[in-house]
Amino acid sequence: MKQNNSKINPPLWLLAEITYRCPLSCVFCYNPVDYAKQHSELTTSEWIKVLREGRKMGAAQLGLSGGEPLLRNDLEEIVSEAHKLGYYINLITSGIGMTEKRIKALKKAGLDHIQLSFQDSTKEMNDFLSSTKTFDLKKRVANLIKKYDYPMVLNCVLHRLNIDHIEEILKMAESMGAEFVELANTQFYSWGMLNRDQLLPTEKQLKNAEKITHKFRDRLGNKMKLFFIMPDYYSVRPKKCMNGWGNVFVTVQADGTVLPCHVASMLPGIEFESVKNKSLNWIWYESPGFNKFRGDDWMKEPCRSCPEKENDLGGCRCQAFMLTGDANEADPVCDKSPYHHKINEAVIASQKPKNFEKPIVFRTDKDSREIMHKRDKGQLELKTSRLLEKHSKPSKNKSRVGVV
Ligand code: SF4
Ligand code: SF4
């Protein structure tokens, strides 16, 4: 069924990735692997124009993320304008750059919510995974969040290297007075995909983590709400990605490029427009990029005639592309997909002990530029993690510790 424009819902969620600069180098970073090609960021007035347009179209939730959004000196101005427009504003941050002066100014400007990320419950692993010495600083930021009367919302991305610390992570969250804790297993896109062999947990690890999460849930009830998000690789049905392509979410990248999800720029042959050249309204309703996977006209078999297609809309287009080379395929997480074996193979491959010896790729500007360069010359295949072996080498100034 082709979707006609009168049936397209307005966006409700606007994610503004206001900068790709970041002092951290997380191994699972969701920023595009080629983020370093973006040399410019929208100015304050350009962001304000985006916010006005988004609100006029119906968006009510605003996520301010990056990179590290606190690196923008105009963050308070952006928040203030968003507040006047009536958005509910969520700052998604590593905490680096948060001071008492800034949190006070952000509160005054109307910031509603802060989501603070941790990499682990131990200083050693937190600092290794982010390639920085930031563990103590994050604890100080957590105290500030409490002091300024924000709900304490902690986020920890789980993977094979930290999932066995889940009990300590949850105890740490409890001791900090967290009201919401999101334990999101790494989804294998972008930098996470490059490191998939080292980051995919075993089934045993996952089951144990779920068990411990349930134990905490039972004990703490509503005092600390826990969200445990499974990795797709252990499912047989995909998620309804972004609740549908161009249906609820709109992402604006640091340079103004507008995407239906934050990693969609990886898809070949789709030109995503920028707010510098077109209105947000036109991009959402009219642009070929946003209409590409609306409705179900694009679907191939087995999705096309599948009785379950309304449940998941064929899953994630980016995952389909990464694992099959064709964005129109069913998401291979689905066991009806002819490519489902690729998921099983990845799970088996990731369990090999030799993976522990492979170097991990940290998200750095230098690595991003090198990957782009090699990819443009056809020397890399981004959809496989084989490039790890060819590409990764330790960068200078990065802390490296044993992690098994
Ligand atoms: S995931 Fe880590 S490296 Fe990536 S933007 Fe967030 S804090 Fe920075
Ligand atoms: S075949 Fe396609 S539509 Fe059916 S369940 Fe699998 S991914 Fe979903």
3-state secondary structure the chain: CCCCHHHCCCCCEEEEECCCCCCCCCCCCCCCCCHHHCCCCCCHHHHHHHHHHHHHHCCCEEEEECCCHHHCCCHHHHHHHHHHHCCEEEEEECCCCCCHHHHHHHHHHCCCEEEEEECCCCHHHHHHHHCCCCHHHHHHHHHHHHHCCCCCEEEEEECCCCHHHHHHHHHHHHHCCCCEEEEEECCCCHHHHHCHHHHCCCHHHHHHHHHHHHHHHHHHHHHCEEEEECCHHHCCCCCCHHHCCCCCEEEECCCCEEECCCCHHHCCCCCCCECCCCCHHHHHHCCHHHHCCCCCCCCCCCCCCCCCHHHHCCCCHHHHHHHHCCCCCCCCCCCCCCCHHHHHHHHHHHCCHHHHHCCCCCCCHHHHHHHHHHHHCCCCCCCCCCHHHHHCCCCCCCCCCCCC
Quote the pLDDT of residue 122: 84
Residues 356 and 161: their CA atoms lie apart, in Å, by: 10
Quote the pLDDT of residue 4: 59
Measured from the Cα of 67, ligand 1's closest atom is 5
- The closest alpha carbon to 27, from 367, 288, 269, belongs to 367
pTM score of the predicted model: 0.89
Measured from the Cα of 312, ligand 2's closest atom is 8
Phi–psi pair at 368, nearest 5 degrees: -60, -45
Which of the ligands is closest to the CA of residue 302? 2
Task: Please report how many Cα atoms fall inside a 13 Å half-sphere around the Cα of residue 135, on the Cβ side.
Answer: 14
Write out pLDDT tens, residues 166-208.
Answer: 999 999 999 988 999 999 999 999 899 989 988 999 989 999 9
- The closest alpha carbon to 183, from 212, 146, 220, belongs to 212
Measured from the Cα of 302, ligand 2's closest atom is 1
Distance from the alpha carbon of residue 161 to the mean position of ligand 1, in angstroms:
17
Q: Quickly tell me which residue has 């239906």 as its tokens.
A: 260
Distance from the alpha carbon of residue 352 to the mean position of ligand 1, in angstroms:
27
Indicate which residue's Cα is closest to atom 6 of ligand 2: 334
Quote the pLDDT of residue 77: 98
Quote the pLDDT of residue 356: 61
| Sheet containing 88-93, strands listed edge to edge, beginning at the edge strand earlier in sequence | 225-229, 180-185, 153-158, 113-118, 88-93, 61-65, 13-17, 249-252, 258-259
Write out pLDDT tens, residues 76-113.
Answer: 999 999 999 999 999 999 999 999 999 999 999 999 99
Residues 256 and 259: their CA atoms lie apart, in Å, by: 10
Residues 59 and 180: their CA atoms lie apart, in Å, by: 24
Residues 55 and 397: their CA atoms lie apart, in Å, by: 43
Distance from the alpha carbon of residue 228 to the mean position of ligand 2, in angstroms:
24
Residue 326, Cβ density class (10 Å: 0-12 exposed, 13-18 middle, ≥19 buried): exposed
Distance from the alpha carbon of residue 309 to the mean position of ligand 2, in angstroms:
5
Tell which one of 18, 24, 141 to mutate to probe ligand 1, the residue whose CB is within 8 A of the most ligand atoms. 24
Measured from the Cα of 92, ligand 1's closest atom is 6
Quote the pLDDT of residue 6: 61
Distance from the alpha carbon of residue 328 to the mean position of ligand 2, in angstroms:
12
Tell which one of 312, 316, 318, 343 to mutate to probe ligand 2, the residue whose CB is within 8 A of the most ligand atoms. 312
Indicate which residue's Cα is closest to atom 4 of ligand 1: 29
Quote the pLDDT of residue 183: 95
- In the predicted model, residues of the chain with pLDDT beneath 70 are 1-6, 353-357, 378-404
Indicate which residue's Cα is closest to atom 2 of ligand 2: 303
- Output the CA torsion 13→14→20→24 (10° steps): -30
Distance from the alpha carbon of residue 301 to the mean position of ligand 1, in angstroms:
37
Task: Please report how many Cα atoms fall inside a 13 Å half-sphere around the Cα of residue 88, on the Cβ side.
Answer: 7
Q: Rg of the Cα trace of the chain?
A: 21
Distance from the alpha carbon of residue 23 to the mean position of ligand 1, in angstroms:
8
Is 129 within 8 Å of 103 (Cβ atoms)? no
Quote the pLDDT of residue 125: 81
Quote the pLDDT of residue 392: 36
Structure tokens of 386?
């084989």
Distance from the alpha carbon of residue 345 to the mean position of ligand 2, in angstroms:
20
Contacts of 215 (CB under 8 A, 6+ apart): none
Residues 190 and 126: their CA atoms lie apart, in Å, by: 20
Indicate which residue's Cα is closest to atom 5 of ligand 2: 308
Distance from the alpha carbon of residue 187 to the mean position of ligand 2, in angstroms:
19
Q: What one-letter code names the amino acid at 381?
A: E
Quote the pLDDT of residue 386: 38
Indicate which residue's Cα is closest to atom 5 of ligand 1: 67
Measured from the Cα of 331, ligand 2's closest atom is 7
